[in-house]
Amino acid sequence: MSWLVDPFADFAFMQRALLGCLAISLGATPVGVFLLLRRMSLTGDAMAHAILPGAAVGYLVAGLNLGAMTIGGVAAGLIVAVLTGAVARFTALREDASLAAFYLISLALGVLLVSLKGSNVDLMHVLFGTVLALDDAALMLLCAITTFTLVALALVFRPLVLECADPRFLASVSRWSGPVHFLFLGLVVLNLVAGFQALGTLMAVGIMILPAAAARFWASSIGGMLAVAATVAAVSSVAGLLASYHAGLPSGPAIILAAGTLYLLSLAFGPSGSLAARYWPRAHLEA
């Protein structure tokens, strides 16, 4: 078992990477579960690209500075979310098309801005992250975002679940519909920024959506999905970091591929709604 324990016992950078990934797993996966339930999975992917120009502006102003890139990423994500809603509300364009347009513009603008000042190495850092280079400031930020996310979700859990089931009913009986929706979008942006610090803008959404999708095949209740998704994300983080250490693979893509592997296994063999459950159902006991 030394291959499993020694990398984390012997090297501080592996310990930091593991702690950062576990923090992201606890904070991002509940958001991913609700994105899945609200049929907004692709919205998360689009928002992950939308934070890039803000992070790029922070990079142009202060270099690879954690605070500047975080503030820029959050601001850019919130601006895109507000503009998307405004265009959908006041024009004939639907929200999905508006979001797609803004995220494509944001992605191109972000890559262009990073390329103006930085090298290809800097661009790869922004796009794919450097989970093995997390420092104390980055870990504190990740843990703070995770704590805020869990507290916020606990406070609005019931209206958020109701909005997933029947948003029109919630809007008709409560004033919480609008505030809950925008709070949820804010949590999406915050956790994408957290994931961006470790996995980059292109990979951050993976740790949010893939564990949530895998959990759908193992649990039917929201509580069960939240627990399974967090477990899948944590296992994927450990597996990806070990693969990165032993095989010399890029850590971010290795973590997301580990999550993707668990998703495919869940899709094939999970007990709830998987291919195996549909085509080879278990025999029921008869009296």
pLDDT at 286 over 60: no
What is the longest distance spanned by two Cα atoms in the chain? 74
> What is each CA distance from 196 to 67, 70, 252, in whole angstroms?
13, 9, 10
User: Please, which pLDDT band fits residue 229 given cuts at 50, 70 and 90?
Assistant: very high
Residue 187 lies in a domain: yes
Helices 12-37 and 206-215 pack at an angle, to 10 degrees, of 60
Residue 284 lies in a domain: no
What range defines the domain where residue 229 resides? Answer: 5-271
Count the domains in the chain: 1
Direct distance between the N- and C-terminal alpha carbons of the chain, in angstroms, rounded to an integer: 46
User: What DSSP character marks residue 186?
Assistant: H
**pTM attached to this predicted model:** 0.86
**Burial of 131: CB neighbours in 10 Å, binned 0-12, 13-18, 19+:** buried
pLDDT at 64 over 80: no
Q: Side-chain half-sphere of 242: how many Cα atoms within 13 Å?
A: 14
17 vs 286: which has the higher pLDDT: 17
CA-angle at 141, arms to 139 and 147, nearest 5°: 100
> What is each CA distance from 265 to 85, 116, 274, in whole angstroms?
37, 42, 9
Q: SS in 3 state form for 181-235?
A: HHHHHHHHHHHHHHHHHHHCCCCCCHHHHHHHHHHCCCCCCHHHHHHHHHHHHHH
132 vs 125: which has the higher pLDDT: 132
Residue 32 lies in a domain: yes
Six token digits for residue 79: 């601006």
Q: Side-chain half-sphere of 264: how many Cα atoms within 13 Å?
A: 6
- Listed in sequence order, the residues at least 6 apart from 248 whose beta carbon sits closer than 8 Å to its beta carbon are none
Residue 278 lies in a domain: no
pLDDT of res. 224: 93
pLDDT of res. 86: 81
CB 136 within 8 A of CB 19: no
**Burial of 189: CB neighbours in 10 Å, binned 0-12, 13-18, 19+:** buried
pLDDT of res. 101: 86
CB 209 within 8 A of CB 32: yes
CB 199 within 8 A of CB 207: yes
What confidence tens digit (pLDDT) does each residue in 231-255 have? 999 999 999 999 999 998 888 889 9
pLDDT of res. 242: 93
How confident is the model over 259-263, as a mean pLDDT?
95
d(CA 53, CA 64): 14
User: Please, which pLDDT band fits residue 50 given cuts at 50, 70 and 90?
Assistant: confident
129 torsion bin: left (phi>0), alpha (psi -120 to 50), beta (else): left
- Does the CA dihedral 77-205-156-143 come out positive or negative? negative
pLDDT of res. 132: 79
Closest listed residue to residue 184, CA positions, set 24, 109, 77: 77
pLDDT at 136 over 70: yes
Residue 138 lies in a domain: yes
Residue 173 lies in a domain: yes
User: Please, which pLDDT band fits residue 127 given cuts at 50, 70 and 90?
Assistant: low
pLDDT of res. 146: 94
Residue 281 lies in a domain: no
What confidence tens digit (pLDDT) does each residue in 156-208 have? 998 888 887 777 777 777 777 778 888 888 898 889 888 887 787 667 888 99
d(CA 36, CA 172): 23
Residue 283 lies in a domain: no
pLDDT at 128 over 70: no
pLDDT at 267 over 90: yes
User: Please, which pLDDT band fits residue 120 given cuts at 50, 70 and 90?
Assistant: low
CATH code at position 20: 1.10.3470.10
Average pLDDT over the chain, rounded to whole?
84
How confident is the model over 83-94, as a mean pLDDT?
80
Lowest mean pLDDT across 11-15, 50-54, 105-109, 123-127 = 123-127
